A and B are shown apart, each in its own frame.
Chain A
Amino acid sequence: LAKTTQPISMDSYEGQEVNITCSHNNIATNDYITWYQQFPSQGPRFIIQGYKTKVTNEVASLFIPADRKSSTLSLPRVSLSDTAVYYCLVGGSSARQLTFGSGTQLTVLP
Chain B
Amino acid sequence: DTGVSQNPRHKITKRGQNVTFRCDPISEHNRLYWYRQTLGQGPEFLTYFQNEAQLEKSRLLSDRFSAERPKGSFSTLEIQRTEQGDSAMYLCASSLPGTTSYNEQFFGPGTRLTVL
List the B residue with the shortest CB-CB distance to A49.
Answer: B103
The listed residue (A43, A93, A97, A100) touching B108 by CB distance below 8 A is A43
Contact of B102 with A95 in the complex, beta carbons under 8 Å: yes
A96-B45 contact, Cβ under 8 Å, with A43-B93, A46-B104, A49-B104? yes
Interface size of B as a range: 20 to 34
Closest 4 CB pairs of A and B: A43-B107, A100-B42, A95-B48, A34-B103
Residues of A within 8 A of B (CB): 32, 34, 41-46, 49, 85, 87, 89, 91-103
B44: chain A residues at CB < 8 Å are: 100
CB pair B103–A92 under 8 Å, yes or no, is yes
Question: Closest Cβ of chain B: how far from A6's Cβ, in Å?
Answer: 11
Nearest A residue to B35 by beta-carbon distance?
A100
The answer to whether A43 touches B109, judged by C-beta atoms less than 8 angstroms apart, is yes
On whether the beta carbons of B55 and A46 are closer than 8 Å, the reply is no
Partner of B102, one of A87, A94, A101: A94
Residues of B whose CB lies within 8 Å of any CB of A are: 4, 31, 33, 35, 40-45, 48, 55-56, 58, 91, 93, 99-100, 102-110, 112
A19 CB, nearest partner CB in chain B, Å: 20
Q: Chain A binding site: helix, strand, loop or mixed by DSSP? A: loop
Q: How far is the CB of B34 from chain A (nearest CB, A)?
A: 10
Chain A CB count within 10 A is highest, among B91, B103, B104, for B103
Say yes or no: A95 contacts B91, CB within 8 Å. Answer: no
Closest A residue to B104 by CB, please name it.
Answer: A46
- Residues of chain A within 8 A (CB-CB) of B109 are 41-43
The verdict on A43 contacting B104 (CB below 8 Å), with A100-B43, A101-B42, A102-B42 known, is no
